[in-house]
Copies of this chain bind each other. A is one copy, B any other.
């Protein structure tokens, strides 16, 4: 498993915790990929849009390329893959812990408490 650093996890989870930023990611996958296009689609200013895109960029979720005065954004799916692996690992781990507990309890039905 490719391990994402703690700082990366901090940034990625934080970036994903905002519904506007999640929508931006979805929009980027579809068509509009310039800052101006995104700014038109959201109910806040150009500057605010730019800030949100910075958060996504610092989390490694998107990449920006400047062409003249325009900035093109594109998704970077590999970062999301790190997150997927982190979540999957712990979800499975915790499922296993619960299974172990249940097995233990069913094998020790009269287990005295304390």
Chain A residues near B (Cβ < 8 Å): 6, 9-11, 13-14, 16-19, 22, 25-26, 29, 75, 77, 80-81, 83-84, 87-88, 90-91, 93-95, 97-98
User: Is B77 touching A98 in the complex (CB atoms < 8 A)?
Assistant: yes
CB distance from A82 to the nearest CB of B (A): 10
User: Is A90 touching B14 in the complex (CB atoms < 8 A)?
Assistant: no
Contacts of A10 in B (CB 8 A): 17-19
User: Is B84 touching A91 in the complex (CB atoms < 8 A)?
Assistant: yes
Contacts of A90 in B (CB 8 A): 25-26, 29, 80
User: Is A29 touching B83 in the complex (CB atoms < 8 A)?
Assistant: no
Q: Identify which of A25, A29, A91, A97 gathers the most chain B CB atoms within 10 Å of its CB.
A: A91
